[in-house]
């Protein structure tokens, strides 16, 4: 064609980069107006019981304290479960903040202090005295695991004859793994700023992964008209799942704003970031049998997760064990144990990040037992089809991930013997694991608008939680419309925009990207129609013949600026809105992203200190829209995986029923010094089925398998197999 650079696939800098590096990007708790009130949450310190009395007299006596809202004086909120359900609800009765006197978990919000400044609100909160009637509580999954019951999910039916094959296998292993509670801890604490409008409607800046989810929730819980609630989330300071459900600070802020008819902001403290959803603790059992040649004969994966007394949180922990490898005899079991805790919540690669720890560590243990290279074992058992669904994959370049990742890492130099590699005092270990995540697509809508200056504005109610949505949607729109990147603006984070699903599950590019692409395609049709009517040169031109590039429509020698077509249209701008949904052709296929992760650890033999020295992560995720941003997503996922392997653990005092290391000094996430070299490579994967973009999304796949690869490397370094995560140094002494 010509030297026009196709926007798709370019490593564009973040379009919101300048605002972020200059401190100009405003997050939910950073909007203000004259007279804004500040709320501070008072939380329970018992895990179960009732509130007998709340004495707020000392707090109310302070000048500047406006109100103290609790279950006795709150405004009216819905009294059935349905209004509290949201797009990411678990089965059961959703939590209702300040609903009644019942205490369901330690850290539950029990009152909101509203004052005319933040410091005063927090101080006044410390003066509120709550009297409780305490009841017995249970928070220990390990202790009570025998009481777990079947999770209310449709698991793949058992296939083949697991028991017989497991019993008869040349090697059969029965292994138990455990993973701790983890909290999302995005750097930005959850916050809602409710700006009370003159007409009584609410403009709410909320930290969320779903503006419309929050809009509908607020509307239903408070019985408001839809047009009276508008949610904004232009910038979100990380979320990783914590913003999938409306969080309690939103309810409290709205409650205060409606009763006081004032604008109110509620920002949670870091400590309070440990008082809602989290990745649940799991106990996993892997029974795995193989023939001497490495063929997997039997896999059983049982997981027990914790949940709250009021909702059954479920996630896909065990399904992966029926699909990542070819195995004809599979039995999957998933149980839940309700405890006096808050309901867990999806957290980066929910389920898979947990289940793949069990599966991929067990595979490594099997490889050792068989004396087969762990990578070879995976190739022997490569799954051509998804046996859970009995479907072929739309594309699956996992073999290429294995091959290219291994080559980049130097895997063939590996000495299989544990403790065989050393650098001075450090034992060196090499481990690997595979990863998988479903490539989903949801319904989504987008609007495209081209003005008289040739500027294209595309919008959808999605968010950008750091994933690069602003940037990649800009690229998709530019590619699909033929408008130059510099003339494209993508708008998001506003519930009044065209419908978008929650931002999660790595399906934003697939869902919203498809809508953006289709909106721009539709826009081109309109532009072409204008051209046909207004210019003889384009009279008979078909859509296939027309070329849209660099802001112009061309056909042979004829060339016209898109801006001119917008002007010629007689309209203020040319505008189209489309509703996109997954293509029917997906239904015959399984769709997934895959990865192969290779890890080198250095372990101080005497002191047990583990350093993840280098990681190679090879990813198959279809077409990469922006390699710079996609790489960043994978880097982040790998860092999360390292944290899962070595650092992260919310510690609960079961006598108190309370999380105790609820701060960033003692809840350890990796710091810069913990992270070694990370090499990300994307293997080529062509996929015409998953969606028209051929792109699968990369938000989750980066973390999946990493913790197992680190654990396997630690075994290789030390000969010690730690199955209780995180692998802190005390477990290696």
Partner 1 sequence: MNPFHYSKPDSVQDAVHLAGPASRFIAGGTNLLDLMKENVTRPEHLIDITGLPLREVSETARGGLMIGALVSNADLAWHPLIEQRYPLLSQAILAGASPQLRNMASTGGNLLQRTRCYYFYDASVPCNKREPGSGCPARDGLNRIHAIFGASAQCVATHPSDMCVALAALEAVVHVQGRGGARSIEFADFHRLPGEAPERDNQLADDELITAIELPAAGFADCSHYLKIRDRASYAFALVSVAAALKVVGPIIREARLVLGGVAHKPWRDKAVESWLTGKAPSRETFTAAADTLLQNAEPLEHNAFKVKLARRAIVRALSDAAQGGQPDE
Partner 2 sequence: MSATTPDAAQPSFARLPLGLTLNGQERQLEILPWTTLLDLLREQLDLVGTKKGCDHGQCGACTVLLNGKRVNACLTLAVMCDGADLVTVEGLANGEELHPMQRAFIKHDAFQCGYCTPGQICSAVGLANEGRAQTSEQIREGMSGNLCRCGAYNNIRDAIEEALPACMQGVGQGGGQ
The set of catalytic residues is 700
Q: Which of 431, 412, 489, 424 is nearest to 455 (CA)?
A: 489
**For residues 179 and 626, which CB has a smaller minimum distance to partner 1 in the complex?**
179
Torsion of CA 71, 76, 78, 84, to 10 degrees: -60
Q: Which of 670, 694, 699, 702 binds partner 1 (CB under 8 A)?
A: 670
The option from partner 2, partner 1, none interacting with 85 (CB < 5 to 8 A, set by class) reads none
* Footprint (CB under 8 A) of partner 1, residues 467-506: none
Minimum Å gap between C-beta 118 and partner 2 is: 6
Q: Which of 510, 523, 440 is nearest to 478 (CA)?
A: 523
The alpha-helical segments, DSSP class H, found in 416-547 are 469-481, 508, 514-534
Give the three-class secondary structure for 39: strand
The option from partner 1, partner 2, none interacting with 636 (CB < 5 to 8 A, set by class) reads partner 2
Minimum Å gap between C-beta 559 and partner 1 is: 57
The option from partner 2, partner 1, none interacting with 189 (CB < 5 to 8 A, set by class) reads partner 2
For position 663 contacting partner 1 by CB under 8 A, the verdict is: yes
For position 666 contacting partner 1 by CB under 8 A, the verdict is: yes
Q: Which of 171, 656, 681, 692 binds partner 1 (CB under 8 A)?
A: 656
Torsion of CA 235, 238, 243, 248, to 10 degrees: -90
The count of other CB atoms within 10 Å of the CB of residue 57 is: 11
Q: Which of 118, 153, 291, 609 binds partner 1 (CB under 8 A)?
A: 609
Binding site for partner 2 (CB under 8 A): 13-14, 16-27, 29-30, 32, 63, 117-119, 185-189, 235-240, 267, 269-270, 465-468, 628-629, 631-633, 635-640, 663-665, 669-673, 675, 677-678
Residues 108-137, mask of contacts with partner 1 (x by CB under 8 A): -----------x--xx--x-----------
Task: Compute the distance between CA of residue 352 and CA of residue 434 in angstroms, rounded to an integer.
Answer: 11
The option from partner 1, partner 2, none interacting with 728 (CB < 5 to 8 A, set by class) reads partner 1
The option from partner 2, partner 1, none interacting with 550 (CB < 5 to 8 A, set by class) reads none
Residues 712-731, mask of contacts with partner 1 (x by CB under 8 A): ----------------xxx-
Q: Which of 2, 3, 22, 423 binds partner 1 (CB under 8 A)?
A: 423
As a 3-state breakdown, the chain gives helix, strand, coil percent values, each rounded to 5, of 30, 30, 45
Minimum Å gap between C-beta 706 and partner 2 is: 11
**For residues 582 and 643, which CB has a smaller minimum distance to partner 1 in the complex?**
643
For position 658 contacting partner 1 by CB under 8 A, the verdict is: yes
For position 653 contacting partner 1 by CB under 8 A, the verdict is: yes
Long-range contacts of 418-422 (CB under 8 A, 24+ apart): 418/368, 418/715, 418/716, 418/717, 418/718, 418/719, 419/717, 419/718, 419/719, 421/716, 421/717
Are 621 and 685 contacting, i.e. CB atoms less than 8 angstroms apart? Answer: yes
Minimum Å gap between C-beta 237 and partner 2 is: 3
Q: Which of 344, 210, 334 is nearest to 284 (CA)?
A: 334
The option from partner 1, partner 2, none interacting with 13 (CB < 5 to 8 A, set by class) reads partner 2
**For residues 119 and 684, which CB has a smaller minimum distance to partner 2 in the complex?**
119
The option from partner 1, partner 2, none interacting with 677 (CB < 5 to 8 A, set by class) reads partner 2
Minimum Å gap between C-beta 607 and partner 1 is: 6
Q: What angle do CA 529, 470, 219 make, to 5 degrees?
A: 95
> Considering just the CA atoms, what is the radius of gyration of the chain in Å?
27
Give the three-class secondary structure for 103: strand
The option from partner 2, partner 1, none interacting with 729 (CB < 5 to 8 A, set by class) reads partner 1
Task: Compute the distance between CA of residue 528 and CA of residue 17 in angstroms, rounded to an integer.
Answer: 34
Minimum Å gap between C-beta 123 and partner 1 is: 6
DSSP assignment of 191-246: EEEEEE-TTS-EEEEE--S-HHHHHHHHHHHHT--GGGEEEE-S-----TTTTSS-
Q: Give the start-end residues of each E strand in 58-128.
A: 65-70, 91-92, 102-103, 109-115
Task: Compute the distance between CA of residue 285 and CA of residue 334 in angstroms, rounded to an integer.
Answer: 10
Q: Which residues bind partner 1 (CB under 8 A)?
A: 43, 45, 119, 122-123, 126, 423-426, 606-609, 611, 646-647, 651, 653, 655-656, 658, 660-663, 665-666, 668, 670-674, 728-730, 733
């Amino acid at each position: 064609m010509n030297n026009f650079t196709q926007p798709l696939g370019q490593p564009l800098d973040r379009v919101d980069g300048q605002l972020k590096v200059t401190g100009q990007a405003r997050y939910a708790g950073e909007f203000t107006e004259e007279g804004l009130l500040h709320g501070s949450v008072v939380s329970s310190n018992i895990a179960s019981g009732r509130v007998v009395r709340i004495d707020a007299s000392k707090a109310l006596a302070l000048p500047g304290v406006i109100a103290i809202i609790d279950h006795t004086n709150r405004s009216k909120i819905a009294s059935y479960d349905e209004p509290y359900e949201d797009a990411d609800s678990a089965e059961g009765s959703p939590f209702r903040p300040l609903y009644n006197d019942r205490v369901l978990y330690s850290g539950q919000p029990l009152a909101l202090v509203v004052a005319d400044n933040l410091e005063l609100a927090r101080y006044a909160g410390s003066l509120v005295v709550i009297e409780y009637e305490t009841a017995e509580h249970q928070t220990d999954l390990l202790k009570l695991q025998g009481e777990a019951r079947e999770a209310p999910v449709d698991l793949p039916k058992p296939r083949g004859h697991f028991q017989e094959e497991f019993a008869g296998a040349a090697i059969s292993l029965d292994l138990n793994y455990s993973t701790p509670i983890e909290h999302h801890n995005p750097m930005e604490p959850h916050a809602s700023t409710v700006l009370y409008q003159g007409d009584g409607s609410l403009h709410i800046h909320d930290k969320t992964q779903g503006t419309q989810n929050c809009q509908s929730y607020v509307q239903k819980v408070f019985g408001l008209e839809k047009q009276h609630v508008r949610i904004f989330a232009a910038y979100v300071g990380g979320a990783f799942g914590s913003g999938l459900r409306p969080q309690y600070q939103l309810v409290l802020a709205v409650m205060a704003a409606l009763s006081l008819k004032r604008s109110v902001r509620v920002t949670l403290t870091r400590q309070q970031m440990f008082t809602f959803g989290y990745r649940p603790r799991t106990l996993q059992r892997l029974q795995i049998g193989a023939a001497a040649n490495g063929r997997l004969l039997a896999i059983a994966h049982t997981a027990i997760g914790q949940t709250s007394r009021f909702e059954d949180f479920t996630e896909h922990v065990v399904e992966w064990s029926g699909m990542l490898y070819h195995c004809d005899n599979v039995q999957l079991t998933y149980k839940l144990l309700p405890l006096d805790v808050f309901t867990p919540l999806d957290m980066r690669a929910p389920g898979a990040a947990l289940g793949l720890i069990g599966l991929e560590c067990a595979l490594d243990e099997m490889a050792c037992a068989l004396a087969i290279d762990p990578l070879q074992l995976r190739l022997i058992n490569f799954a051509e089809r998804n046996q859970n669904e009995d479907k072929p994959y739309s594309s699956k370049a996992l073999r290429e991930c294995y091959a290219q990742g291994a080559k980049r890492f130097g895997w063939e130099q590996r000495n299989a013997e544990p403790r065989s590699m050393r650098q001075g005092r450090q034992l060196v270990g090499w481990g690997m694991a595979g990863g998988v995540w479903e490539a989903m697509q949801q319904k989504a809508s987008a609007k495209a608008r081209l003005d008289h200056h040739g500027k294209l504005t595309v919008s959808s109610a999605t968010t950008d939680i750091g994933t690069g949505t602003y940037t990649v949607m800009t690229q998709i729109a530019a590619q699909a419309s033929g408008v130059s990147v510099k003339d494209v603006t993508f708008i998001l984070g506003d519930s009044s925009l065209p419908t978008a699903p929650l931002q999660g599950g790595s399906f934003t590019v697939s869902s919203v990207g498809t809508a953006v692409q289709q909106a721009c395609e539709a826009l081109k049709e309109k532009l072409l129609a204008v051209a046909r009517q207004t210019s003889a040169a384009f009279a008979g031109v078909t859509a296939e013949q027309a070329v849209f590039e660099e802001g112009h429509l061309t056909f042979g020698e004829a060339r016209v600026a898109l801006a001119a077509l917008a002007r010629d249209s007689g309209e203020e701008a040319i505008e189209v809105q489309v509703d996109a949904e997954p293509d029917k052709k997906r239904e015959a296929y399984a769709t997934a992203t895959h990865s192969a992760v290779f890890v080198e650890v250095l372990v101080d033999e005497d002191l047990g200190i583990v350093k993840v020295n280098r990681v190679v992560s090879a990813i198959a995720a279809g077409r990469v829209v922006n390699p710079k941003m996609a790489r960043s997503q994978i880097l982040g996922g790998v860092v999360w995986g390292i944290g899962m392997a070595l650092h992260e653990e919310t510690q609960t005092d079961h006598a108190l029923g309370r999380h105790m290391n609820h701060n960033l000094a003692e809840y350890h996430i990796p710091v810069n010094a913990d992270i070694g070299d990370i090499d990300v490579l994307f293997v080529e994967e062509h996929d015409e089925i998953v969606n028209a973009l051929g792109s699968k999304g990369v938000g989750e796949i980066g973390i999946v398998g990493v913790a197992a690869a680190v654990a396997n490397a630690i075994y290789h370094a030390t000969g010690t197999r730690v199955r209780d995560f995180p692998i802190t140094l005390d477990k290696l002494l």
